[in-house]
Chains A and B, each alone.
Chain A
Amino acid sequence: MAGDEQTPRPPGTRPDDAPTLPAVGVVGLLRWTWRQLTSMRVALMLLMLLAVVAVPGSVLPQRPQSPADVARYLEDNPGLGPWLDRLGFFDVYASVWFSAVYLLLFVSLVGCIVPRLRLHLRAVRARPPRVPRRLERFAVHDEVVTDATPAQVLAAVEPVLRGPLARLPRFRTEVERSPRDGVAATVAAERGYLRETGNIAFHLALLGILVSVAAGQMLEYRGQAIVVEGRGFANAVTDYDTFEAGTFFDASTLVPFTMRLDRFTADFFADARPRDFVADVTLIDPSTGGEPRQREIRVNHPITAGGAKIYLQGNGYAPTVEIRDAAGELAFAGAVPFLPEDGVYTSRGVIKVPDVSTGPQIGLVGYLLPTAEVTPLGVRSVFPQPADPRLVLTVWSGDLGLDDGVPQNVYELDSEAMTQAVDDAGTPVTLVVEPGTPVELPDGLGTLTWTDLPRFVALDLRHDPALPWLAGFAVAALVGLAVSLFTPRRRIWLRVTERDGRTVVGAAALARGDDVGLPDELERVLRAVRDLDEGRE
């Protein structure tokens, strides 16, 4: 079977009947198509095609990964862009053509592997091929003459061929005593059935991986939540900032664990590159007894809670501010996450104050600078740690637009119904706020006090019930592949004859393909025969 197309031909068809196919009719056409699809040549073509169609996804921006880049590309290429879009080039791995190639490949794989599996099951039960007439004609052959009797030779050779494991013999061995006149015995042995077993296991495991990935996509959920130091998070769809789930995900299966961020520690090198991030949390998980437990989440070390993995995905500062309105009433008190925009944590955020007792609603937009440096051109941040923090804010007043029921982005100010505070010269007012020092808002809007600077973490929560399956199939694929590539297929034949009162053992070995270990394998068997004489001396 070496080197040939493995597809068994349907009964009753001839190899050359392909060109006459119209006469064969629909069934014949289907049969012909199936045979082509499951042929090794088409599998090869499909593999090459798969490599080619995967490439555009690395060259063009992809919508699932970076929708903003796709929008920019479409803007920059008004001619070509829409065409590429229509053809699915901005979501290659979900496109019709990419899917078609890999689905055809897997159909081909099944059509290829199932008949092979049947053949293999038969081959495993079959006997090793008979001893050829002339052993000298094989490249690897040898002859030993010994004083031992044929029975002793057989008794010495058989354990070597069988190997140490009774259940999993090294060689399948068939001994024939006195098959012909003048021949005392022949031994036919074959090993390497595991090669094909491994090959089939590998291909089936690939199929398992594909199915697991697909199942995972239908059953998973993933969400993001921002949690400020000292605050908590409860695992419910409403507590997530974003939440996505597969088609067959059932929200009632969410385990209601809660988690509190006790402390977040960030460590940086002197040149502001991050060194380490650690989030210390207290977790209360009913699925593991419900006792509060201290856990640590690091960048590469997610924790598990309620079947979901929790990843530390990002972090930043959430300054706590108090705002009193024109009447001196407390209108707002709380921590507001500012999203970092660069390596030194220049962070942008919006403080919205809707609940004023009198006057217009207030919106504050601006930046947090953890270590501020004041220059003639303005202020900027020079280091990510909060050595000398400042808030730089512009002030808006009017209607925040929170009451019309349309969900709003908390990191953007809808300034449509608001006016910006300006000074007498007409330039916008910029407040530079230090922690602890109250600041008057312009136009008598009130006062702002920056009381504290806790950090926040952005957490990714993800649950994919197919992961253990995926891992299992991946391991099976790897093991199957290694077994299939590194198991040698070898045959060994011995012919034992008696000549002039001595015993002559003729031997030959054959391997599938190029096999450097073949002579050694034969020698290992013959050494058992040679050792018979040594023991005698």
Chain B
Amino acid sequence: MSLGEISQLLAWGATTAYAIALVAFAMDLARLADRMGVERARAGRSVLATAGAPGVPPAADDAPDAPAAVLASRTRAVGIAMATTTAGFGLHLAAAVTRGLAAGRVPWANMYEFALVGALVAVGVFLGLCRRRDLRFLGTIVVGIAVLALGVGLAVFYTPASAVEPALQSYWLVIHVSIAIVATGLFAVSFATSVLHLLKDSRAAGSPRLAGERWRALDVLPSTRELEALSFRVTAVGFVLWTFTVMAGAVWAEHTWGRYWGWDPKEVWSFVVWVVYAAYLHARTTRGWSGRRAAWFVVVGFATVVFNFTGVNLFFQGLHDYGGVPGGS
């Protein structure tokens, strides 16, 4: 078995571990929600009575909704989830390293490798943040994105490891693409946070679709204000790194093609990503646009990031045309 095949097996292993973690994270949230319901009922503020009825706001947001005792006594499921995520991360890291060794270069030169390393960074950022704050509630979405990225990467984008073409041989490739991948990982985390923010906010505002039992897990999350602040902080770091990515890309283009900017489809979409997140930063400080509306910018921003990594390589032709998808581009 070649090193490249070992890498592929490791990547499948990581995907499996993440899938198990995903189930465990979801169970944890469900159990916590159950327990909280019990606590609330005991406290005489029965949410259960109203939660099923459409149109009735379950509980005001920012009320002391998650009794500290409940949050502190996390379920056994979350322990399993964190353990399998960490194990998956180990396999994932090994997959990326062996891929790089097999190709004799850094493992981020085609779409499969972007997906592989991008997901690695997202999970890494998540695990790293968890060491400092209890952000395990993000697990479902972050690990979910990782499963999706790895699964699609392995099933659709996979190409065997090989060295790159002359246009890609530059240390600017290493800098430009690695920072782009880290920024993408951060944007994935802030996307997850903002989605939870929007869902929780809608539930608190009495959205009939989110009023049901199934969405009770949202009550366990930190307040919308905290989610907003977290999303902003992660996006801010991602935005600075993305700004750097675009600039490093311009330097690379200058070195390779003799022009720093040529409105190649990839450049257009990197610019669109940048402008959307700049708009987000402005929206946060504009009267009438902060909160929910600003959170939508993070969602749209991540959609443009994902399109930049997938759609642009698949649908448009341009100089960045080495996604390496068989039959694609």
Known: A300-B256, A486-B236. A57 touches B285 (CB 8 A): no
Contact of B257 among A2, A62, A274, A311 (CB under 8 A): A311
Known: A93-B263, A485-B236. A44 touches B268 (CB 8 A): no
Q: Are A48 and B279 in contact (CB under 8 A)?
A: yes
Interface bits A62-100 vs B (CB < 8 Å: 1, else 0): 101100000000000000000000000000110000000
Q: Are A481 and B240 in contact (CB under 8 A)?
A: yes
Q: Are A309 and B243 in contact (CB under 8 A)?
A: no
| Residue B152, interface by CB 8 Å | no
| Residue B125, interface by CB 8 Å | no
Tell me how many residues of A have a C-beta within 8 Å of chain B: 51
| Residue A414, interface by CB 8 Å | no
Q: Are A54 and B271 in contact (CB under 8 A)?
A: yes
Which residue, of A92, A299, A467, has the highest number of chain B Cβ atoms within 10 A?
A: A299
| Residue B215, interface by CB 8 Å | no
CB neighbours of A313 from chain B (8 A): 257-258
For the complex of A and B, list the 4 residue pairs with the smallest distance between their C-beta atoms, beginning with the closest: A514-B229, A299-B166, A58-B268, A300-B170
Q: Are A57 and B243 in contact (CB under 8 A)?
A: no
Q: Are A65 and B263 in contact (CB under 8 A)?
A: yes
| Residue A470, interface by CB 8 Å | yes
Number of contact residues on B: which range applies? 35 or more
| Residue A474, interface by CB 8 Å | yes
CB neighbours of A3 from chain B (8 A): 285, 287, 290
Contact of B166 among A59, A274, A481, A485 (CB under 8 A): A274
| Residue B156, interface by CB 8 Å | no
| Residue B199, interface by CB 8 Å | no
Nearest A residue (CB) for B255: A300
Known: A273-B165, A276-B169, A474-B247. A5 touches B287 (CB 8 A): yes
Q: A478 vs B278: C-alpha distance in the bound complex, in angstroms? A: 13
| Residue A144, interface by CB 8 Å | no
Known A-B contacts: A40-B285, A54-B271, A269-B162. Give 9 more (CB < 8 A).
Answer: A2-B285, A3-B290, A58-B269, A276-B166, A300-B170, A301-B170, A311-B256, A462-B258, A485-B239
| Residue B77, interface by CB 8 Å | no
Rounded to whole Å, the gap between the CB of A51 and the closest CB of chain B is 4
B residues apposed to A, CB below 8 Å: 162-163, 165-167, 169-170, 172, 225-226, 229, 232-233, 236, 239-240, 243-244, 247, 250, 254-265, 268-269, 271-272, 275-276, 278-279, 282-283, 285-290, 304, 312, 316, 318
Q: Are A54 and B268 in contact (CB under 8 A)?
A: yes
Q: Are A43 and B258 in contact (CB under 8 A)?
A: no
Known: A47-B279, A57-B268. A300 touches B167 (CB 8 A): yes
Q: A64 vs B263: C-alpha distance in the bound complex, in angstroms? A: 10
Q: Are A58 and B165 in contact (CB under 8 A)?
A: no
Interface bits A464-491 vs B (CB < 8 Å: 1, else 0): 0001001000100110011001100000
Q: Are B236 and A301 in contact (CB under 8 A)?
A: no
Q: Are B283 and A470 in contact (CB under 8 A)?
A: no
Q: Are A462 and B259 in contact (CB under 8 A)?
A: yes
Q: Are B260 and A58 in contact (CB under 8 A)?
A: no
30 contacts between A and B (CB under 8 A): A3-B287, A3-B290, A5-B286, A40-B282, A41-B286, A54-B268, A58-B312, A58-B316, A64-B263, A93-B263, A222-B258, A269-B162, A276-B169, A277-B166, A298-B166, A299-B169, A300-B166, A300-B169, A300-B255, A302-B255, A311-B258, A313-B257, A313-B258, A462-B259, A470-B260, A481-B240, A485-B239, A486-B236, A513-B229, A514-B233
Q: Are A44 and B258 in contact (CB under 8 A)?
A: no
CB neighbours of B271 from chain A (8 A): 54
Q: A485 vs B232: C-alpha distance in the bound complex, in angstroms? A: 10
Rounded to whole Å, the gap between the CB of A133 and the closest CB of chain B is 27
Q: Are A65 and B167 in contact (CB under 8 A)?
A: no
